[in-house]
Amino acid sequence: MPELPEVEAVAQSLRPLVEGRKIRCVHVLHPIATKPQAPAKLAHATEGQQIRAVRRKGKYLWLELATGIVTLHFKLDGQLLWFSGAKELFAKANKLKPENGVHVDVAFELDKGVLGFADGRHFGRVLAWDSEPSCPAIAGLGIDAISPGFTTPQFTKLLAASKRPIKEFLLDQSKVAGVGNIYSCESLWHAKLNPRRRANSLTAAESGKLHKAIVSVLARALECCLHPAPDFRDPEWWFQGLEEILRVYDREGKPCRRCGHPVKRSTQGVRATYFCAHCQK
């Protein structure tokens, strides 16, 4: 699932393509992508409107319109595509033979170019809202993990108020928005903290180390996600090189890059957790 660095890279790459553009019409090719809203609601809320800005918080991306917003949530495999125009869109979209085209769920035909949203597994969603506060998902997000508001004192205060295991705390988007399974494992490894420790058991020094690790891990991942930057014109494009910066995630049984002991894998909730039992205390 795309986490904060991936979605931020998408946002930065998308802005020069769509900001200031007018939405001429919307093509909903797979209505499941707008559920529980009707496709007509998305069309009515967006057609004829100008895209004023591309915004992001946590893992959420949205288009700020002259009136209202459109949220784009990628879930597990969602991605954005770019077409030169409607002619190219309909020449390539949803052909029976995959080699002759690409999957597209929703397409925004702009006054220049077409922005497509695609998720072959149909978990991702494109939804229209009157405003940011009216969108429950955005309204319920906590502090964005790369925002100025994500400070050590504020993070320490949040940790101290929670009895949950640290890993589960980090995955709670209502506390800190944007950190998912991959970067929570990585941050805890860098901070040398056991993912099962209670959040409120951390000392002030440990909280500071974890805050620093989160900021550092996300910054490095974002740099990787931007080099190369997302290429929406290539339907096969995906983030390259991230596996090279990972220290512990998905490395079960392999030597810890710090102490050499084998990396362990456990389950917390329904998510896999990777950690070094020897050096993460």
Question: Which of these, 185, 186, 191, 194, lies nearest to 207 by C-alpha position?
Answer: 191
Q: Is 102 helix (H, G, I), strand (E, B) or coil?
A: strand
Specify the DSSP element, H or E, that contains 184. Answer: helix 181-190
Q: Could you give the 3-state DSSP secondary structure of residue 233?
A: coil
Task: Let me know if 2 is a catalytic residue.
Answer: yes
Task: Look up 167 and say whether it is catalytic.
Answer: no
**Residue 58 — φ and ψ, nearest 5°?**
60, -130
Q: Which of 56, 57, 59, 264 is catalytic?
A: 59
- Residue 31's alpha-carbon distances to 42, 43, 230, 255, 259, in angstroms, are 10, 12, 26, 46, 51
Closest-CA residue to 70 (of 32, 23, 121, 103) = 23
Q: What CA–CA distances, in Å, run from 77 to 17, 121, 124?
A: 22, 7, 8
Task: Give residue 159's identity as a one-letter amino acid code.
Answer: L
CA distance 130 to 133: 8
* Crossing angle between the packed helical segments 204-225 and 4-18, to the nearest 10 degrees: 40
DSSP 240: -
Is 3 a residue of the active site?
yes
**Listed residue (206, 273, 57, 247) closest to 145, CA to CA:** 57
Annotated catalytic residue, options 2, 5, 39, 230:
2
Residue 188's H or E segment, with its range, is helix 181-190
Active site members: 2-3, 59, 271
